[in-house]
Structure 1
Amino acid sequence: MRGRGVSSGRVAAEAVLLAAPVREPDESTVVAPGDREAEASAIEWAAVAVADQLRARTRAATGEARAILDASRLLASDPELVAEAADLVRSRGRTAARAIWETSAAHEKGLAALGGRMAERAADIRDVRDRMIAEILEVEMPGVPEREEPFALVASDLAPADTAALEGGNCVALVTEQGGPTSHTAIIARSLGIPAVVGVIGATGIPRGAVVLVDGDRGTVEIDPSSSRVTEAKAASLVVPFDGEGVLADGRRIPLLANVGGAAEAVVAAASKAQGVGLFRTEFCFLDRADAPTIEEQVDAYRGVLAAFPGQRVVVRTLDAGSDKPLPFANSDAEDNPALGVRGLRIARRAPKLLDDQLRALALAAGAESALVEVMAPMVATVDEARDFAERAREAGLETVGVMIETPSAALLASEMLEVVDFVSIGTNDLAQYALAADRLLGELGDLNDPWQPAVLRLIGQTGAAGRRWGLPVGVCGEAAADPALAAVLVGLGVTSLSMTPRALGRVAAALAGVTGEQCDAAAQAVLRAATAVDARAAAAAVLNGE
């Protein structure tokens, strides 16, 4: 089964299905006029009780889980939701449970209409709805099961409280039918370091008790895999210690950096001995905001990341809103093809102040901390865009400026790009999406969104060659950087640093330590001659394993 890998790693375990949500309350029951006030009060008491429950869970949680639970607590206390439900009881005689159901459905529909990141918040609405209804009906709230043995949790979707409850338990993998790369499932899975695949059509049809092999790197779920595949997955699931040095067998150093979305993830990355940050996704600091953050608010958010890496390189990506991560203050219009629309650097066409404020805030944060700050723009397609961004960044006080190589256009113009910027960083997820014309959020096209596709490898090779020509850095910060089998190939293609989830650092370091630069170069030449992704993998393995 295929979906969208949102947290890397590979593990095999028994599948356990999440308990079904509460049933839809009967809509035919009408509360007598004399009883409606008491029925409406039940809604208010349920909201208070659920908010208290979530507040208690929030205190026990840490990091991203704590922030997500606190957001759900605020939702449970939303006076608008409570008032609308209570009005349904008073005006139409709905039961308290039915009123909560209908009001939540309306709110959920509104979020779904917004699309992208906001649509993923629908799970929050359903979670609070079910908790309030369970409180009103005095029934047990379904949730994450407690098991003594490791298990893979399978669900249609996971509510914030469900994902937060995974911390400290025996859940070793997540599989859901819904969700996206910025859903709570994805965020919590990454923070806990467990593999997760979302958007798996038919996942809830997986037989209970079946063994599943969840591959968060490739976005696949295998049902009842062979014993040899299970053995491979067990070996891959082991966290290999990282000593803080990425180096080839012949002594050549390849910095291994971390991808982070905020201060909490930066702290985890630093504890994992990452050699810096290769991708700081600044939009993750502001996903739940309706208005643009002030310069002061941005400075605080950025300093939280920079402080975790004193004296080390931190590459900051400017706001990458749009497509699957729309922000109300940046993406005001609905678009037929948002992945091809106003996203990333293109937002500055409409709102130049948004970019200028962010660059100013980054410069102030850099001045207040000792991290070596570099800034890069996402979704660059032309040299003119790269030049304009570089000028604006340097005017704001940021000296080291780069661009993302995510479009085939940028890859083809990599040499010209490096005439106006100081470095480039390849986002393999988007580069594959645009090179193969395959939506990376569509599970059934997962085979196309594969960094081993020859077209993608050749674009990376062209970019690496440009870096060598100018003697400038070429990084990779997409999911491909976390693939130990691909790491040596990327180095051979001219990549000078790799940035990944902290959990993958040890595995990638171990893979690089076993090969020389000469082997990396030979593997790169082999994959550039391949015609298919399967051929590319086989060609690289043959060279690197000495076959």
Structure 2
Amino acid sequence: MSALSGVGVGRGIAAAKVLKMPEPLAPPSDEPLAADAGAEHQRVQAALTEVADDLNARAAAAGGDAQQVLEAAALMAQDPAILDDVRSRLDVGANAEKAAWDAYAAFRDMLTQMGGYMAERATDLDDVAQRVVARLRGVPAPGVPASDEPFVLVARDLAPADTATLDLEQTLALVTEDGGPTSHTAILARSKSLPAVVGVVGVLDAVADGQLVIVDAKAGTVALDPDDASVTAAGAERASRLAAASAPITDGALADGTKVPLLANVGSGKDAPGAVEAGAEGVGLFRTEFLFLGASAAPSVEEQTAAYTEVLRAFPGKKVVVRVLDAGADKPLSFLNDAHEENPALGLRGIRALRASEQILRDQLTALANAQAATEAELHVMAPMIADREETEYFVALGKELGLASVGAMAEVPSIAVLADQVTEVADFVSIGTNDLTQYTMAADRQLGSVAALQDPWHPAVLRLVKMLGDAGAAAGKPVGVCGEAAADPALAVVLVGLGATSLSMSASAIAEVRAELLTVTLEQAKERAARALAASSAAQARQAVSS
């Protein structure tokens, strides 16, 4: 029995036969336009509208993280700049399919060159282009094939529209050749509690439809042609995990009674009910970007107050940690910063961009203070990309001036860990964003599949920075939470607690598994596992040291 390796998402396991995604549509021909350009323009416009309507319908049915991703894809189908580009190509003689295809390709290349968050959207554009061309051809859009029996879906990568509408009765696991731990496939796999292994180089050539495999997300492996004993063992482990995930909801705690609050990451008020249902003890990361992205101007104080109040009211008496606008550079907003940057990941983003446009920050903090006064939630507000004490002092002072009770810093840049003792003297709390902290520590773009192996929060370099923050928080008597996706990995969650994390925040769907895992160890055992991970020389060795 041979095995392929990649980046595991979650702790699940599944054994089933492979079902491979069909090949995408062939590119359009270069045959010149044979019809009236105006009529063809209307035909493309109708196809774009139909695709957008279909994506929005899928979004409404999917809900949660999947809904946000699909709604973003629908906006791409409605982008007027795309339609203008199509018209210009039709006017010079391109046929409708070719004009639409090339217009999306040009937009995709532009996003790819921008890197980071915007580069990740390039995959979504490819899917929208395929759907538009399929409409123009009058053929079904490529997608997940139907199956009457359970299967493991194998693909080069999965578009949001594919992962959001999977048949969860039959889809037992996902495997992709491309992508990393923060790709849409990974995010949506977590949201649906599906085991997945992404970034598996060569998997498309190595497996065939109908071939039996075992997908082990915990180990990050895809075992080919397993024997009967291995399949039986995988089935037993899967059943055990499903039982643990459906156990009665309790507050997060270790086996010795040490409390570890389990919080949810939410993107808007729509996510709050799902978080409450999953047993979240509050919100560890409320992303406020949904109000700003795609807007031509910053929302008013009144608009923001209403949106923040909606979320806070869902958690009376509970902790809600809000991250102020995390935009600029890799998530450009024309009203915040429209300057071209050669290296946007290291540009004017987070607190840097907000500081340069302080009125936008003041308005947001004012709206949060209003929401705090109007609800019974325990509000905590933090700024992204804080680098040192001086930036911490600036943000904390401004937040307190505008009436906020608890103001903290988000740890995503290695410098804040190095200066953790200084930062915790000033901040009321620190929350560690492991996605960006890993990216900047390892100098590996978290959206780039070719360096996916380096985008691993298990790496001892990342864990040592977490420990520095945890130690500084303990010395200063300040809480240090983790709100990156690392907290959704049950084994890593134990290590993070051992490193000093006082709370964990994750996708709501991951809470049950993390809760069950924490109950298997004492604080002393968690510290022992953390020590073994810290002593390792690689992410793979750290995982192995803890699992053994």
Scaled by the length of structure 1, the TM-score of the pair is: 0.84
> Are 2:523 and 1:517 aligned?
yes
- What is residue 207 of structure 1 aligned with on the other side? 207
Q: CA deviation at 1:221?
A: 4.9
Task: Give a deviation string over 1:440-486, Cα, whole Å, max 9, x none.
Answer: 33444444443333333333223222222222212122233233333
Identity score, percent: 49
Q: Alpha carbons of 1:179 and 1:290: their partners in 2 closer, same or farther (altered >3 Å)?
A: farther
Q: Alpha carbons of 1:235 and 1:399: their partners in 2 closer, same or farther (altered >3 Å)?
A: same
- CA–CA distance in structure 2, aligned partners of residues 64 and 282 of structure 1: 14
Q: Alpha carbons of 1:232 and 1:259: their partners in 2 closer, same or farther (altered >3 Å)?
A: farther
The 3-state SS of whatever aligns with 2:256 is coil
- Kindly indicate whether the alpha-carbon contact (under 8 Å) linking 2:114 and 2:330 is maintained by their aligned counterparts in 1: no
> Are 2:238 and 1:234 aligned?
yes
The residue type equivalent to 2:131 in the other structure is: R
The 3-state SS of whatever aligns with 1:142 is coil
- Kindly indicate whether the alpha-carbon contact (under 8 Å) linking 1:254 and 1:497 is maintained by their aligned counterparts in 2: yes
Q: CA deviation at 1:312?
A: 0.5
- 1:484 aligned residue (484, 490, 493): 490
- What is residue 345 of structure 1 aligned with on the other side? 351
- What is residue 165 of structure 1 aligned with on the other side? 165
The 3-state SS of whatever aligns with 2:470 is helix
Q: CA deviation at 1:303?
A: 2.8
- CA–CA distance in structure 1, aligned partners of residues 540 and 56 of structure 2: 50
The residue type equivalent to 2:151 in the other structure is: F
- What is residue 417 of structure 2 aligned with on the other side? 411
The residue type equivalent to 2:428 in the other structure is: D
The residue type equivalent to 1:8 in the other structure is: G
- CA–CA distance in structure 1, aligned partners of residues 408 and 328 of structure 2: 20
- Kindly indicate whether the alpha-carbon contact (under 8 Å) linking 1:344 and 1:379 is maintained by their aligned counterparts in 2: yes
Q: Alpha carbons of 1:150 and 1:528: their partners in 2 closer, same or farther (altered >3 Å)?
A: same
- CA–CA distance in structure 2, aligned partners of residues 296 and 216 of structure 1: 44
> Are 2:13 and 1:11 aligned?
yes
Give the 5 Å matches for 1:134-149.
Answer: 134-149=134-149
Q: CA deviation at 1:80?
A: 5.6
The residue type equivalent to 1:135 in the other structure is: R
- CA–CA distance in structure 2, aligned partners of residues 528 and 127 of structure 1: 41
Q: CA deviation at 1:420?
A: 0.8
- Between 143-152 and 9-18, the greater mean CA deviation after superposition: 9-18
- CA–CA distance in structure 1, aligned partners of residues 414 and 39 of structure 2: 63
Gaps of 5+ in 1: 543-547
- What is residue 103 of structure 1 aligned with on the other side? 103
- CA–CA distance in structure 2, aligned partners of residues 195 and 429 of structure 1: 19
- CA–CA distance in structure 1, aligned partners of residues 128 and 541 of structure 2: 49
- What is residue 372 of structure 1 aligned with on the other side? 378
- What is residue 283 of structure 2 aligned with on the other side? 277
- CA–CA distance in structure 2, aligned partners of residues 124 and 442 of structure 1: 15
Q: Alpha carbons of 1:320 and 1:108: their partners in 2 closer, same or farther (altered >3 Å)?
A: same
Q: Alpha carbons of 1:364 and 1:203: their partners in 2 closer, same or farther (altered >3 Å)?
A: farther
- CA–CA distance in structure 1, aligned partners of residues 412 and 326 of structure 2: 12
- Kindly indicate whether the alpha-carbon contact (under 8 Å) linking 1:10 and 1:213 is maintained by their aligned counterparts in 2: no
The residue type equivalent to 1:520 in the other structure is: A
Aligned residues: 537
The 3-state SS of whatever aligns with 2:501 is coil
- Kindly indicate whether the alpha-carbon contact (under 8 Å) linking 1:116 and 1:326 is maintained by their aligned counterparts in 2: no
- Kindly indicate whether the alpha-carbon contact (under 8 Å) linking 2:330 and 2:345 is maintained by their aligned counterparts in 1: yes
Q: CA deviation at 1:427?
A: 2.4
- What is residue 326 of structure 2 aligned with on the other side? 320
RMSD: 3.5
Q: CA deviation at 1:372?
A: 0.7
Scaled by the length of structure 2, the TM-score of the pair is: 0.84
The 3-state SS of whatever aligns with 2:299 is coil
- Between 91-100 and 349-358, the greater mean CA deviation after superposition: 91-100
Q: Alpha carbons of 1:446 and 1:77: their partners in 2 closer, same or farther (altered >3 Å)?
A: closer
- What is residue 155 of structure 2 aligned with on the other side? 155
- CA–CA distance in structure 1, aligned partners of residues 345 and 236 of structure 2: 36
Q: CA deviation at 1:401?
A: 1.4
Q: Alpha carbons of 1:308 and 1:468: their partners in 2 closer, same or farther (altered >3 Å)?
A: same
- Kindly indicate whether the alpha-carbon contact (under 8 Å) linking 2:180 and 2:448 is maintained by their aligned counterparts in 1: no
- Kindly indicate whether the alpha-carbon contact (under 8 Å) linking 1:242 and 1:509 is maintained by their aligned counterparts in 2: no
Give the 5 Å matches for 1:353-372.
Answer: 353-372=359-378
The 3-state SS of whatever aligns with 1:15 is strand
- CA–CA distance in structure 1, aligned partners of residues 306 and 530 of structure 2: 42
- What is residue 387 of structure 1 aligned with on the other side? 393
- 2:24 aligned residue (16, 21, 26): 21
Q: CA deviation at 1:292?
A: 3.0
- Kindly indicate whether the alpha-carbon contact (under 8 Å) linking 1:116 and 1:323 is maintained by their aligned counterparts in 2: no
Q: CA deviation at 1:285?
A: 4.8
- What is residue 192 of structure 1 aligned with on the other side? 192
Task: Give a deviation string over 1:118-168, Cα, whole Å, max 9, x none.
Answer: 444444444443334333333233222122333333334444433332265
